[in-house]
Structure 1
Amino acid sequence: MYYVFDVAVVVVLILTLFYLYLITYGEGMLRNRPEAMQVASSTIITNAEGTEISRLHTQTKGYSEYAELNAMPDLLKMAFLATEDRRFYNHDGLDFIGLGRAIMQDILHMNLSQGGSSITQQLARNLYLNGDKTLSRKMNEISIAMALEKKYSKDEILEMYLNQIYMGRQEYGVKAAAWRYFGMKDMHQLKLWQIATLAGMPKGPSIYNPVDHPELSKQRRAVILGLMHEQGLITRKQMLQARGVDYTPPETVLNATTTPGLSEPAYVSAVDAVIQEASRLTGKSEAETQSAGWVIQTGLDEQAQLAMAETFADATRFPDDRQDEQVQASMVIIDQHNGEVKAMMGGRNPLKGGINRAIMDARQPGSSFKPIIAYGPALESGKFKPESILPDKRMQYGSYQPSNLGGRYSGSIAMSQALQKSINAPAVWLLHETGLKYAHQFAARLGIELGKEDLNLSIALGGVHQGVSPMKMAQAYTVFANHGKLNTAHLIRKITDSRGRTIYAHKSENKQVISSSTANAMTRMLQNVVSQGTGSRAQLGQHKVAGKTGTTQAAIPGVSREANRDLWFVGYTSNWTAAVWMGFDHTDAEHYMKSGSGVAAELFATVMRSATQ
């Protein structure tokens, strides 16, 4: 008698503890891990034409696009309920009938193969737990499901479930899947066979998605259509018609890369730069930016970007490649009239999250810096004109004694001729006469801030301490191209949230930072550089090009003095300004540029010719 009583007390105690665990564990999880409930939706990036070029990974998952329940057709919701949890609106998180049936199957088969999980349980598992088939995980799942049912309405739970369910190929949620597999943005346009295909995927996303396994997907679709007919959701005729449709991938799938949603390879560097810019503009981290569900509109031009990518893929453009290492290159094209970046390549084989040489301040600009630091300030000072006669002789400035290439001096030369032939001595003399402080201020107005380490005359020849990026060089030259007006270089036109509200919109400054007379005189001189001087390989036929080459020597002991480290060309037409850099990532005795800056000028011409056809 006492033994039975003791057992009963123990059983009651165990059940009480079990019940307390069920009601406290789940509530604790919801309270302590609020980030699990945050809405994550992939940010979309478009080019200037409004074409989607990238759909970004969310913070912890793949690609997702959140949709409210009213954006989903009723038949889609009913198809998922018919398949996953037909009594969803009639239970409190646990479908005891389905659970009982699953337990019986587990007992018969002596394993835990049957889930019997309600939609709420599946949501709990997907948000907070893993897929382990253990008794403790099942208890935790039930507890969290109970807490979810207590805190949220049925519609809210169904909406969350349909937005986070895994649908194969790194797609999360029905909206992302509808776009990925059927090219449908508006889910109300989905046909019955497409709805049934989507509803069949959660059981096995990797084998039932129509891209990877169209036949298995079709078989699974038939099962779902049978369930929908059995529950009176569709007629027999509708069922048979939807069963017979063969899947044909839409253009959005046919054009997709091997990783769904990843931008076209041509846009990889630009997309990385867009994410960084969006993070800087909004104060959000890059991870938050990627899963904010925004639409980021850029000014990237498809024709220009593809032209740049195709040219960079042509190995004949890079004659100094070694067997063990490729020559690297980067390029930026900017519309000088508004500052929009039209195209960008950060390397010859850019990787997502990899080195973006187009925006790194890491390279010495050589003589391409002369217009920014020597000739531009001299013109702006009013003391010099393109026809001014400058000394071209060996001179010493304290401990610094620059020399001309080949040691040749003419005694005196007109400013425009000195720039055209890229002679060193006159450039250094001009900087000395104009003053380092004034020259620094001039460069800053063009967007290039120089440090105290650069308060020396060697910067006249591009000896910049930290180095500059092609982006900054191109932006500086846009001021010459735009009659002395600066528009800050940028990729992003506008950012809107998931509801279409504007978060950020760029406003072009078109700020007069140097005189138009200085800019126009510089343009005439730089046009001579291309038509008659060192930049002749940048010519574009009927389109006038203004620009400047730049070369820095490798200066490696035991290697020819003609070995180079950095090759540049920065130039512009009446529409666009571009900067090209070429070189090895690490220059040494085995890896240096044998070519001169003419190959950079030629790369500029090849890209610009294709980009503007």
Structure 2
Amino acid sequence: MNRFFLLICFFMLSINALASSEYKEKLLPKFASTIYDRDGHIIGFFYKGKFRIYASYKEIPENLIRAVITAEDERFFEHKGIDPLGILRAAVTDISKGKVVQGGSTITQQLAKMVYLSPKRTVERKLKELALARELEEKLTKKEILELYLNYVYLSNGAYGVKAAAWVLFGVSDLKQLTLAQCALLAGIIRGPEYYNPFKHPVRAKKRRDFILKKMLKAGYISRKEYEKAINEPLTPLEKPNKPKTAGYELDLVKFEIARKGLVPYNSIFTSGYRIKTTIDEEIQKFAQEILSKYDQKYSEIHKLEDLQCAGMAINKKGEVLFVVGGKDYKTSKFNRAFQVLRPIGSTAKPMTYLTAFQNGWSPLDFVPNEPLEIPTGQIDNETGEEKIWKPENYSGKFTPFIQVREALIHSVNVATIYLALNFPQKIRKNMIAFELIKKDSPFDLSYVLGSFPANLYRIIRAYSAIQDNGILKEPYVVTEIRSKNGKIIYKGYPTIKPVSDPFSIQLIRSILQDVVKEGTAKRISYLTKWFDVAGKTGTTNDWRDTYFTGFTTSFIMSIWFGRDSYETMWKGATGGGVAAPPWAEIAKELCSKYGCEQFEPPYEEIVKNYPLPTHFPEEEMKEAYYDELINSLGEKADKAKIQ
């Protein structure tokens, strides 16, 4: 019988606890979502209106609880929401003044006022406050009341709730890190948030803090030693309030991904107090922004430009975004040019043509024509009435009868690339779709092999991720985890991969892109190869409007862009190798210093040694000469057929 009675009691208590918890949840205000970088450091917040960060009761240190009770309601754990002694004391003061001056409110009454009532002091409001306080005490535990109270209360400098205040006033993200003195200061501010503002009125704030510390000592909450240490502590380690960052190029990417993938309802990120962990390396983010802004300013001053802009983005081998820079200064332009704009990408697209060639049996040692070329466009010139003819040019303005395939890519030769593309244009198109540079329904013409189609750094990096990793394409992503304000996992991010090419063809491309850095259009940054393997491709669009460098190491893929929002020429001679590659190299050194960069596998020498023998020659005499030379170099008397 006794056992049955105990089970019933336990069941009833469980129901009451559940009801209490649900009731508390309904009373909680809206909270900011906190955004963390890959190392767990706070990089920003998403919120609208009041800045609050949710703190559960278990997060709140005992010293803070004791300080608040000492400052606001010494008999909190003894009364039932209304303290007759406090009311009597307040009434005497009010009668002597002839108006309502001192509330004498308990913490529960203050909570009732914050949740339900206006701050206006009237007898009618006071009666409502008393009734609501009794209701709160009936439906909530003392701990729940304290939790609500400490999440609602205003603590100066735009901070609501103790966790937001700890961040704004002290730069502390974990309440357990608060010192005793800081707990006492927070408790003291409650009585007059602006009057005791430690940044505006430090003398008043310290006097109030020390008064509360003395009361805590007298109440036996702290020892004499703790008291002495606390009163000698500075008010705050900050020179000015820690303003919560709510936007930035990296934070905008987080919002973009949440909205695009529907990870949680978009508007809820401003009100639900999520804890959002990202892949961003905030140290690298700041460094990359600093470097790109420095180069932007340098180029702008030299060439007298006012609207030059920059952008950059990097992912690691998993597809995790390490940084994203959308412009030279977020304060002056929030437009994110890394993923919110589509512009021609120039020679950045050329590896798609050469990869297609290798997939179809061509060798880097093969030869293609490099003579002037005229291609009918099918379009009629309105002035002449004749069909328009496309006459592609090489950047150097020079032509040769032929050129080796690898040399054509190393030196980014336009006409040779088109000659090569004429062998399999639709297969190139399929590769561009597979590598997600263009969409399935996109138009396609031969100018696409020279990068005339629009894309952005996000798409470029995604495509190059497959060249970096033997044909495995990675979708860039930035959100790795979303937790509720109570710590429950709502979303878990993970790499999205797909195979898009055979490894051998990719390795052939990679070896040539290494040569681009060693001796080609990006040789300006060849010094990096003394320390680690680097491969990449420059890109420059018509009339020097856009400059790109996209490169990779064993650890990351990164793309850099410079151009003008007006889409006008930057300056004559602006190239990807001269403009975008130098800042790429500076950021790459920092990335490699932190994450390590090694030698590609298989190594360059092994890939080159195993290049397929050439089979494409513009002239038969070339073929004869090539194989004669090859036989001599091998030191063999084998006939040409055996070598072939």
TM range (shorter): 0.7 to 0.9
Matched to 1:546, the amino acid is: A
* Equivalent position of 1:456 in the other structure: 445
Alignment of 1:394-413 (within 5 A): 394-399=373-378, 401-405=390-394, 408-413=398-403
In structure 2, runs of 5+ residues without a counterpart are 1-21, 379-388, 594-644
The answer as to 2:322 corresponding to 1:342 is yes
Matched to 2:51, the amino acid is: G
Q: In structure 1, what is the Cα distance between the partners aligned to 2:127 and 2:269?
A: 36
Q: In structure 1, what is the Cα distance between the partners aligned to 2:222 and 2:403?
A: 91
* Equivalent position of 1:19 in the other structure: none
Q: Any idea what SS the aligned residue of 1:439 has? A: helix
Change (3 A) 1:229 1:92: same
The answer as to 2:313 corresponding to 1:332 is yes
* Equivalent position of 1:376 in the other structure: 355
Q: In structure 2, what is the Cα distance between the partners aligned to 1:147 and 1:92?
A: 10
* Equivalent position of 1:297 in the other structure: 277
Shift of 1:114: 3.7
* Equivalent position of 1:205 in the other structure: 193
The answer as to 2:110 corresponding to 1:119 is no
Matched to 1:442, the amino acid is: N
Q: Any idea what SS the aligned residue of 2:560 has? A: strand
Shift of 1:388: 2.8
Give the structure-1-normalised TM-score: 0.79
Q: Any idea what SS the aligned residue of 2:539 has? A: strand
* Equivalent position of 2:344 in the other structure: 364
* Equivalent position of 1:43 in the other structure: 34
Matched to 1:421, the amino acid is: H
Please tell me whether the aligned partners of residues 367 and 548 of structure 1 are also in contact (alpha carbons under 8 angstroms).
Answer: yes
The answer as to 2:43 corresponding to 1:64 is no
Q: Any idea what SS the aligned residue of 1:220 has? A: helix
* Equivalent position of 2:512 in the other structure: 525
What does the per-residue CA deviation read over 1:518-565, in whole Å, with 9 as the maximum and x for residues that have no partner? 211111222222222222223224133221111223xxxxxxxxx432
The answer as to 2:572 corresponding to 1:581 is no
1:390 to 368, 390, 397: 368
Change (3 A) 1:401 1:310: same
Q: In structure 2, what is the Cα distance between the partners aligned to 1:247 and 1:588?
A: 55
Shift of 1:333: 1.6
Change (3 A) 1:78 1:383: same
Q: In structure 2, what is the Cα distance between the partners aligned to 1:575 and 1:189?
A: 35
Q: Any idea what SS the aligned residue of 2:328 has? A: coil
Shift of 1:501: 4.4
* Equivalent position of 2:617 in the other structure: none
Shift of 1:494: 3.6
Q: Any idea what SS the aligned residue of 1:208 has? A: coil
Give the structure-2-normalised TM-score: 0.75
Q: In structure 1, what is the Cα distance between the partners aligned to 2:147 and 2:24?
A: 19
Matched to 1:470, the amino acid is: L
Matched to 1:426, the amino acid is: A
1:596 to 539, 558, 575: 575
The answer as to 2:429 corresponding to 1:440 is yes
Shift of 1:505: 3.4
Matched to 2:444, the amino acid is: L
* Equivalent position of 1:534 in the other structure: 521
Matched to 2:146, the amino acid is: L
Q: In structure 1, what is the Cα distance between the partners aligned to 2:561 and 2:241?
A: 30
Shift of 1:361: 3.8
* Equivalent position of 1:417 in the other structure: 407
Q: Any idea what SS the aligned residue of 2:464 has? A: helix
Shift of 1:150: 4.8
Shift of 1:235: 6.9
Q: Any idea what SS the aligned residue of 2:114 has? A: helix
Q: In structure 1, what is the Cα distance between the partners aligned to 2:223 and 2:287?
A: 53
Q: In structure 2, what is the Cα distance between the partners aligned to 1:385 and 1:237?
A: 83
* Equivalent position of 1:225 in the other structure: 213
Q: In structure 2, what is the Cα distance between the partners aligned to 1:593 and 1:97?
A: 84
Q: Any idea what SS the aligned residue of 2:249 has? A: helix
Shift of 1:197: 1.8
Q: In structure 2, what is the Cα distance between the partners aligned to 1:135 and 1:296?
A: 45
Q: In structure 2, what is the Cα distance between the partners aligned to 1:258 and 1:225?
A: 23
Please tell me whether the aligned partners of residues 360 and 468 of structure 1 are also in contact (alpha carbons under 8 angstroms).
Answer: no
* Equivalent position of 2:591 in the other structure: 611
Change (3 A) 1:246 1:514: same
1:481 to 468, 492, 500: 468
1:503 to 490, 493, 497: 490
Change (3 A) 1:284 1:370: same
Shift of 1:99: 4.7
Structure 1 range deviating more: 278-287 or 131-140 = 131-140
Change (3 A) 1:385 1:530: same
Change (3 A) 1:551 1:299: same
Shift of 1:404: 0.8
The answer as to 2:251 corresponding to 1:310 is no
Change (3 A) 1:78 1:532: closer
Change (3 A) 1:512 1:177: same
Please tell me whether the aligned partners of residues 537 and 605 of structure 1 are also in contact (alpha carbons under 8 angstroms).
Answer: no
1:157 to 145, 150, 156: 145
The root-mean-square deviation of aligned C-alpha atoms, in Å, is: 3.7
Shift of 1:468: 1.6
The answer as to 2:548 corresponding to 1:548 is no
Q: Any idea what SS the aligned residue of 2:455 has? A: coil
Shift of 1:135: 6.7
Please tell me whether the aligned partners of residues 166 and 202 of structure 1 are also in contact (alpha carbons under 8 angstroms).
Answer: yes
Please tell me whether the aligned partners of residues 88 and 118 of structure 1 are also in contact (alpha carbons under 8 angstroms).
Answer: yes
What does the per-residue CA deviation read over 1:251-277, in whole Å, with 9 as the maximum and x for residues that have no partner? xx57xx8643438xxx93223323433
Matched to 2:36, the amino acid is: I
Please tell me whether the aligned partners of residues 108 and 145 of structure 2 are also in contact (alpha carbons under 8 angstroms).
Answer: yes
Q: In structure 2, what is the Cα distance between the partners aligned to 1:63 and 1:533?
A: 54
Change (3 A) 1:258 1:544: farther
Alignment of 1:255-266 (within 5 A): 259-262=242-245
* Equivalent position of 2:609 in the other structure: none
Change (3 A) 1:385 1:147: farther
Structure 1 range deviating more: 302-311 or 90-99 = 90-99
Change (3 A) 1:588 1:413: closer
Q: In structure 2, what is the Cα distance between the partners aligned to 1:106 and 1:323?
A: 70
* Equivalent position of 1:20 in the other structure: none
Q: In structure 2, what is the Cα distance between the partners aligned to 1:235 and 1:301?
A: 41
The answer as to 2:403 corresponding to 1:428 is no
Structure 1 range deviating more: 519-528 or 292-301 = 292-301
Q: Any idea what SS the aligned residue of 1:342 has? A: strand
Shift of 1:611: 3.1
Q: In structure 1, what is the Cα distance between the partners aligned to 2:200 and 2:425?
A: 67
Shift of 1:312: 2.1
Q: In structure 2, what is the Cα distance between the partners aligned to 1:578 and 1:95?
A: 64
Please tell me whether the aligned partners of residues 40 and 66 of structure 1 are also in contact (alpha carbons under 8 angstroms).
Answer: no
Change (3 A) 1:175 1:385: same
User: Is the radius of gyration larger for structure 1 or structure 2?
Assistant: 2
Matched to 1:262, the amino acid is: K
Identity of aligned residues (%): 29
